Amino acid sequence: MTAQLIDGNALSRQLRSEVATRAAALKARGVTPGLAVVLVGDNPASQVYVRNKVKACEEAGLHSVLEKYDATLTEAELLARVEALNNDPSIHGILVQLPLPAHIDDHKVIEAISPLKDVDGFHVASAGALMVGEVGFKACTPYGCMKMLESIGMKDLRGKHAVVIGRSNIVGKPMAMMLLQANATVTVCHSGTADLGAMTRQADVVVAAVGKRNVLTADMVKPGAVVIDVGMNRNDEGKLCGDVDFAGVKEVAGYITPVPGGVGPMTITMLLVSTVEAAERTAA
Ligand code: NAP
């Protein structure tokens, strides 16, 4: 069997065009959805990420502001900037790019963002809203994975067993919660899981969010399962690859997401979706 690809680029194009339509409708009512992206320091990967986020906003007709600060910015100064953005009516979403320099407490800064503007979904209030099934903002990467499942007709996962590999606060845990809310039976695995393959072989859906190559190999996958690869690693040739042994697993799975071109573009797309959503909520 050769798995069908879930194309994150194609799905992103479709969702971003829906964002552009919603942004245009808001603009017609005098509201331009606005995202503020705050970058502190000169981490090269972060610089690429924020550039891509700002560019994606512009392409979808959203207003975006990129605030760049030297690594010497103090925590108090950053907190003051976040507060100013919380009070800025032209800004509907605020994203502080992580990691922050070591002298700044990430958690304190994220908690300073108004939950009404927390489009990254990392605030404790957003995580709590997800947990109890209330309206909030969802962490973008798992939200994108859910949209990928929806795109193949798997919006409701009643009767399905989903296995998430990884339990970080930004991917694994919110992913498990979203799958649970979609009615899946969910197992969360991590570095302390005794026999990962015994878990994944039972799964109808496997989401790998580990950050290690070949964590999931063909012998660990049930024939026909859906495999979502969140991982971002480099192979021996220096090329981007995921956590899944793509060549082997695609011969067993029913659907698979590629890396690159899978979950990656969906993450930025869901940031745009949440920003337009934030603007719609304030305009309602
Ligand atoms: P993380 O915080 O390092 O978490 C990794 C998780 O994997 C941990 O829960 C860890 O278990 C678990 N783990 C480690 N080795 C394992 C093993 N051998 N078997 C089973 N579980 C194992 O990473 P993260 O931030 O969640 O990111 C995970 C990956 O996704 C990274 O490659 C990252 O670059 C990528 N990512 C991609 C996007 C995107 O947009 N595509 C977005 C975010 C992250 P413990 O908890 O027990 O340590």
Please give the domain boundaries of the chain with CATH numbers for all domains: 30-114 (3.40.50.10860), 140-263 (3.40.50.720)
Query: Three-state DSSP class for 186?
Result: strand
For the Cβ of 168 lying below 6 angstroms from any atom of ligand 1, the answer is yes
What is the DSSP code string of 197-218? HHHHTT-SEEEE-SSSTTSB-G
For the Cβ of 29 lying below 6 angstroms from any atom of ligand 1, the answer is no
Angle at 270 between CA 54 and CA 278, to 5 degrees: 80
The strand pair at 226-229 and 240-241 is best described as unpaired
**pLDDT at 218 (0 to 100):** 98
Contact in structure between 99 and 145 (CB atoms under 8 Å): no
Residue 63 neighbours by CB under 8 Å, 6+ apart = 32, 33, 34, 35, 57, 90
Q: How far is the CA of 208 from the centre of ligand 1 (A)?
A: 8
Strand partners, 40: 69
Cα separation, 199 vs 206, in Å, equals: 10
> Which residue in the block uniquely carries the two structure tokens 């009404």?
116
**pLDDT at 1 (0 to 100):** 63
For the Cβ of 191 lying below 6 angstroms from any atom of ligand 1, the answer is yes
Max CA pair span of the chain: 56
Most informative mutation of 43, 48, 190 for ligand 1 (most atoms within 8 A of CB): 190
Residues in the chain, pLDDT under 70? 1
**pLDDT at 283 (0 to 100):** 86
**What is the number of other CB atoms lying within 10 angstroms of the CB of residue 187?**
18
**pLDDT at 284 (0 to 100):** 81
Active site residues: 53, 97, 120
* Alpha-carbon radius of gyration of the chain: 19
**pLDDT at 89 (0 to 100):** 97
HSE-up (13 A, CA, CB side) for residue 42: 2
For the Cβ of 164 lying below 6 angstroms from any atom of ligand 1, the answer is no
